[in-house]
Amino acid sequence: MTATVDARPRTPSSPPTRGRSKAGRIEGRWGVMMALPAIIGFVAFTLAPMIASLFISLTDWTIGAAPQFVGVENYVRMFSADSSFFSSLWATVYYTLGAVPLSIIVAFVVALLLNANVRGQSVFRVIYYIPAIVPIVANSMLWIWLFNPDFGLLNSALARVGLPGSDWIFAEETAVPSLILMATWGFGNIAVIFLAGLQGVPRHLYEAISVDGGGAWSKFRHITLPMMTPVIFYSVVTGVIGALQVFVQAAVMTEGGPNDATLFFVYYLYRTAFTNNEMGYASALAWILFLIIMAITVLLFRNSNKWVYYEAGTGR
């Protein structure tokens, strides 16, 4: 009995491979097409203006006249002959150091309370979130009335409990602290993020520490706080970036006063560009602010592995 051997060459599985490759190429083209609007938008409205502003920062340019190339003269002037540069930088740093930590602490405490299975949790969540969605200009007009030393609500409340009033944003010493207090009022946005993070903490961790005899403080110290560090880190980064670009409060409420106490950096940049018509110098200021924000952000990320805990083990 002779065995029959099929000598015909076996058909390789190349057709399916070619099919997958073709599908992959089509998918890649669609991916590029879908991303193209965002890429074009970034190049046209972000990258190109940044490159243009870098060139303008090396010129002495007023609108209506041809720019005159001056090299790094604007940067030298900034650090050697412009006292407003340092005062605006200090006012911005002062505001950032106060507004960011205070907003995060208040938001975290409120999120902890909301996470305690209180009745009407969704109602409280909406109430706390409303200030975050009110336009900042409307917020500013409201707070101008609240801060009014003569008929404002805050001084009226202080008078009712026998405490002296304050000049709030109308005095040099209290202007920035008043704006920090105003910034804290918008904690609802951060609180909602914290609340979502708290509800994602695994319940079995709390059950384990209860079995070991741990109390409420131990649960907070050893479970809640470490598990929330990625959310805290996110809030710190976005909060610092936003606070360093504070503008509307100075433009609408104080116009940089009194005595330049609230001359925040972006408002000083705006005034340099559109009041003094010094586009070259304003562009140099913008680049310094960009470098400061980038340096602080990089520093925060480089140090995050020392205190941010990731459950998946990619971090600390």
Q: What is the mean pLDDT of the chain?
A: 88
| pLDDT of 180 higher than 60 | yes
Residue 303 confidence (pLDDT): 92
Q: What number is the average pLDDT over the span 191-218? A: 88
Q: How confident is the model at residue 312 (pLDDT cuts 50, 70, 90)?
A: low
The 10 Å CB-count burial string (b at 16+, else e) for 100-119 is beebbebbbebbbebbeeee
Q: Tens of pLDDT along 149-160?
A: 988 999 999 999
Q: How confident is the model at residue 247 (pLDDT cuts 50, 70, 90)?
A: very high
Contacts of 279 (CB under 8 A, 6+ apart): 56, 61, 62, 63, 67, 273
CB-based contact 265:92 (threshold 8 Å): yes
Q: What number is the average pLDDT over the span 141-146? A: 92
Q: Tens of pLDDT along 19-51?
A: 567 888 888 889 889 999 999 999 999 999 999
Going by C-alpha positions, the residue among 291, 251, 255, 239 that lies closest to residue 95 is: 239
Q: What number is the average pLDDT over the span 238-249? A: 94
Q: Tens of pLDDT along 211-231?
A: 888 888 898 999 999 999 999
CB-based contact 61:280 (threshold 8 Å): yes
pTM of the model: 0.85
| pLDDT of 17 higher than 60 | no
| pLDDT of 11 higher than 80 | no
Going by C-alpha positions, the residue among 203, 238, 242, 252 that lies closest to residue 223 is: 203
| pLDDT of 74 higher than 50 | yes
The percent of residues in the chain predicted with pLDDT above 70, rounded, is: 92
| pLDDT of 2 higher than 70 | no
Residue 18 confidence (pLDDT): 54
Residue 4 confidence (pLDDT): 45
Q: How confident is the model at residue 115 (pLDDT cuts 50, 70, 90)?
A: confident
Phi-psi map region of 102: left, alpha, beta (phi>0 left; psi -120 to 50 alpha): alpha
Q: Tens of pLDDT along 273-290?
A: 999 999 999 999 999 999
Residue 197 confidence (pLDDT): 92
Going by C-alpha positions, the residue among 139, 123, 120 that lies closest to residue 131 is: 139
Residue 213 confidence (pLDDT): 85
- DSSP lists the bridge partners of residue 68 as 60
Residue 20 confidence (pLDDT): 63
